[in-house]
Amino acid sequence: MASSSSSQSWIYDVFLSFRGEDTRKTYVDHLYNALVQNGIHTYKDDEALPRGETIGPALLKAIDESRIAVIIFSENYANSSWCLDEVTYIMERKDERGQIVMPIFYHVDPSEVRKQKGKYKEAFAQHELENNKRVEAWRKALKEAGNLAGWESKLVANGHESKGIKEIVNTISSRLFPVFNVNEDLIGIETRLQDLKSQLEIGSGGVRMVGIWGVGGGVAL
């Protein structure tokens, strides 16, 4: 049984799993910047990996320390045995530690991931030729991840990438910081709260002090 997420000590809010050759300088770069700008402490390997540290153990440790794992499934994600090991480990953490997993299907259909069709079928054909003993575990992990509720980039915000990323970041933020959910009738308050979150750098450690100045007789709760 997965342990309660509230009892865990998380270092990062979000861990990003992605195929660098596909998305590092494009979609993932924009997503990462949007997360950081919204005060969400995010692990992306080329931003947080200490120079000279072995990539495997460092990334596995970062997964363990992350509240949410966001997996960006792109066309060539399954070509990388490391990416497949990564998603397998993430799905294990989901079951064992109650980690939240949110997939983004970037220019691929969820069924391609779930059933290993198209480019994913080609990638697995190559893995099987190499007699890789991890294929069965990889297939199981992709099936489970492909069945999770997530986002298809072509459908979010009608395919507009910047608007779609904003929508995804807002959803992630609401999962991390439910205290910031506000009445939609309070016009303009959401933007102000997003700015406050960014300035507080929530999740980055340390202590912050906030002073509230109001009219005489006002009560802050």
Active-site residue (options: 86, 96, 130, 167): 86
Q: Which of the 8 DSSP states describes residue 50?
A: P
Q: Which two tokens stand for residue 21?
A: 């050759």
Residue 86: active-site member = yes
Amino acid letter, residue 83:
C
Amino acid letter, residue 133:
K
Q: Let me know: does 102 contact 71? Beta carbons within 8 Å.
A: yes
- Please provide the DSSP assignment of 2-16 as one string: PPPGGGS--SEEEEE
Candidates 119, 123, 106; CA nearest to 168 is: 106
Q: Let me know: does 64 contact 58? Beta carbons within 8 Å.
A: no
Q: Which two tokens stand for residue 176?
A: 């991390």
Catalytic center residues = 86
